[in-house]
Structure 1
């Protein structure tokens, strides 16, 4: 972080503290920028105004430049942070701080101290609970791919492999750099060798996908689309390219697993098995999924009930609307309702940030898995099915992003203040 500071005289010390505070705030927001660049820019500018300053930002997905003007002085701070959504406890702790700053309930020095405490806070759950969360997250998603007991228990085994790699990557930076690829190769090998020996259990891709769902960049795809729609062209384009790169890592991993096992590329058929899960199991799966989401993404446990209600609301609306107007229309309506409900809730004091309220419901709309299915279908030689899935991916990504955006707009106060 580089700060351009002039001579330390008069109010210079306050200006320096404010500049450093805004830079660190931008960095923390950037690291948790699952909703895109607009939220980073808005929060930093609001905080600057609250302390009698102005801030102009240039935001990219992994970097931001913050120009601060206060006390007759100008400084610029440049920060870098890799965007992710794995420490949402920090975002939850940041919201009351930002509310106090905006409403003049805290001094600059106190706000700076509280921000430092948020930055230093350890993860709320130990590694083994995060591992359990990833497994539950994937298992809860499994019935959406194939409503069979076989899909559920194979996902539990495969997700344990993916979850173990995810937890290990936190201590092994080299593994983290190629984590989606390594996870995809490993899951592909085990699936093809142990679980996908007969078509009666469904296609290998359908068995692999739930275990890889934790790595599918649906959040990046949707955030990129929202950024492009909001006019953040550079940020949206870069994030979109990165999301496609992650999808390609997963795709290449599946193909490498196919090559290692010596199976024909036509082994990547995409046929679903006959469902044998009772309705109560499908209903309870969303509870398993939501608990897994809370643990895997470090959300405060106290939010579980609210998040579960939003998940069931999203699923219910999407299911009902799909029966009336088709899959794309149902997804759009589900996203509108989710965006509206999350925005209205997040506006209230004491409620978590909008991203935390959106994320579990957003995952139920299942964006990225269509991209994986499309790419693997192409690799298997099923060209028409592959392009159909990829075309559906583009349509549904746009539908989700547009729906969430419309929901947020509908929740705006009449004078347009969020």
Structure 2
């Protein structure tokens, strides 16, 4: 004891005050929660390993946007509450946190050095300027467009609509009030433009299919699958709360689309969901995944050096899903692709010098497009197509479960035991 404070000999030969260690782990927990848009299952284990590196123990009660953290050291305990909004917007921090946490967990990093390193990661500016992030959102939209309709018109309209959503997303980063209703505002703007400018004739495809690529950046498919995976893994509170939030975001998008219908004076029957005749060559569809992955890197601030690896996961996911779908159907193909993606991401991420699992899996996961089915289902119902609407909603539920369980199974098959130091 030193002046009534609990201390422990650290890697630098000095004491490890409980207060400073608690502050370090609190900051780490907040950063991990802020990057947990794909699930919070790794937060508790990462914090526990870092705590063990300094001779302490940690216990945690998690919810998606917060945690109660208790740190125990030399017979004393300290408890703090941590709040952070879950997202995946800064994958550069996710990439930097993994090697930092590994070094700290080994027990050879002085506390002061660990504090400086974590503060540097937390305070690092975004790797790309705002205009590159906006360009990334636009490319993300264009790359996704052929999945909705393989037509040149879909790509051209998506490019213009993607610029609109990119401007709104970048503006929301500067004005937090806008970020609270960003899905609603973006959906309304896209809906008005599609109904007034792009969906004037059925020959160009349904209005919903023209809207979805521009709204895909806001569609909570990742949250839906993360919620299902957390429920399957036993994280009942986090999974249930995340599921409710994902549904709320879908309803925001749906309401925004309906506001666009009312603003243009159109009838809800304008929300038809019929695909146009395909006129896109195979090479263009193949290259669209390159555009999509580049957009993902820029939009979500992933390190540029990882682009080749992420392209590999995207093409692997697409290839496995396409091949398996021919053998076992759409749901089975999605499940098999999710297993392959989860196993690959987990196996590659095992080494501390490799990118984290979230970063490796995210672009490939986006190709499985679960959230857009929910959006299509809601708009089809509103457009007076109940059979198609309920079919899409049922497909969304089935696909969400298939992806979540597939990713979980792949991770279990490829995971190696990692005991605490």
Tell me if both proteins adopt one fold, taking TM over 0.5 as the criterion: yes
**Structure 1 match to 2:229:** 226
**Structure 2 match to 1:339:** 342
- Residue 145 (structure 2) pairs with residue 149 (structure 1): no
**Structure 2 match to 1:245:** 248
**Structure 1 match to 2:12:** none
The question of whether the paired residues in 1 share the 8 Å contact of 2:158 and 2:213 is answered with yes
Distance between the aligned counterparts of 2:108 and 2:16, measured in 1?
A: 21
Distance between the aligned counterparts of 1:150 and 1:181, measured in 2?
A: 25
Report the Cα offset of residue 46 of structure 1.
1.0
Equivalences, count: 412
- Residue 117 (structure 2) pairs with residue 121 (structure 1): no
- Residue 5 (structure 2) pairs with residue 9 (structure 1): yes
**Structure 2 match to 1:3:** none
**Structure 2 match to 1:381:** 384
**Structure 1 match to 2:174:** 171
Distance between the aligned counterparts of 1:7 and 1:194, measured in 2?
A: 72
**Structure 2 match to 1:306:** 309
The question of whether the paired residues in 2 share the 8 Å contact of 1:34 and 1:355 is answered with no
**Structure 1 match to 2:367:** 364
CA pair 153-7 structure 1, distance change in 2 beyond 3 A: farther
The question of whether the paired residues in 2 share the 8 Å contact of 1:328 and 1:399 is answered with yes
Q: Which segment is superposed worse, 95-104 or 162-171?
A: 95-104
The question of whether the paired residues in 1 share the 8 Å contact of 2:16 and 2:54 is answered with no
Q: Which segment is superposed worse, 141-150 or 345-354?
A: 345-354
Give runs of aligned pairs for residues 15-414 of structure 1, distance below 5 A.
15-413=18-416
The question of whether the paired residues in 2 share the 8 Å contact of 1:148 and 1:277 is answered with yes
Unpaired runs of 5+ residues, structure 2, are 8-14
The runs of 4+ residues in structure 1 deviating greater than 2 Å are 6-10, 415-418
The question of whether the paired residues in 2 share the 8 Å contact of 1:37 and 1:235 is answered with yes
**Structure 1 match to 2:10:** none
Query: TM-score by structure 1 length?
Result: 0.97
Q: Which segment is superposed worse, 101-110 or 319-328?
A: 101-110
Unpaired runs of 5+ residues, structure 1, are 1-5
- Structure 2 counterpart SS, 1:59: strand
The question of whether the paired residues in 1 share the 8 Å contact of 2:39 and 2:226 is answered with yes
CA pair 113-203 structure 1, distance change in 2 beyond 3 A: same
The question of whether the paired residues in 2 share the 8 Å contact of 1:258 and 1:265 is answered with yes
Report the Cα offset of residue 110 of structure 1.
0.9
Distance between the aligned counterparts of 1:52 and 1:353, measured in 2?
A: 25
- Structure 2 counterpart SS, 1:58: strand
The question of whether the paired residues in 2 share the 8 Å contact of 1:63 and 1:78 is answered with yes
The question of whether the paired residues in 1 share the 8 Å contact of 2:380 and 2:388 is answered with yes
Distance between the aligned counterparts of 2:353 and 2:313, measured in 1?
A: 17
The question of whether the paired residues in 1 share the 8 Å contact of 2:38 and 2:88 is answered with no
Report the Cα offset of residue 370 of structure 1.
0.2
Report the Cα offset of residue 107 of structure 1.
1.6
The question of whether the paired residues in 2 share the 8 Å contact of 1:50 and 1:102 is answered with yes
- Structure 2 counterpart SS, 1:366: coil
Report the Cα offset of residue 9 of structure 1.
3.1
CA pair 119-316 structure 1, distance change in 2 beyond 3 A: same
Instruction: Note the alpha carbon deviations across 1:213-259, whole angstroms, 9 max, x for none.
Output: 00000111111111111111111111000000000000000111001
- Structure 2 counterpart SS, 1:35: coil
- Structure 1 counterpart SS, 2:42: helix
The question of whether the paired residues in 1 share the 8 Å contact of 2:52 and 2:107 is answered with no
- Structure 2 counterpart SS, 1:64: strand
The question of whether the paired residues in 2 share the 8 Å contact of 1:142 and 1:151 is answered with yes
- Structure 2 counterpart SS, 1:122: coil
Report the Cα offset of residue 10 of structure 1.
5.2
The question of whether the paired residues in 1 share the 8 Å contact of 2:6 and 2:76 is answered with no
Report the Cα offset of residue 34 of structure 1.
2.5
- Structure 1 counterpart SS, 2:217: helix
Distance between the aligned counterparts of 1:251 and 1:372, measured in 2?
A: 7
Distance between the aligned counterparts of 1:287 and 1:130, measured in 2?
A: 16
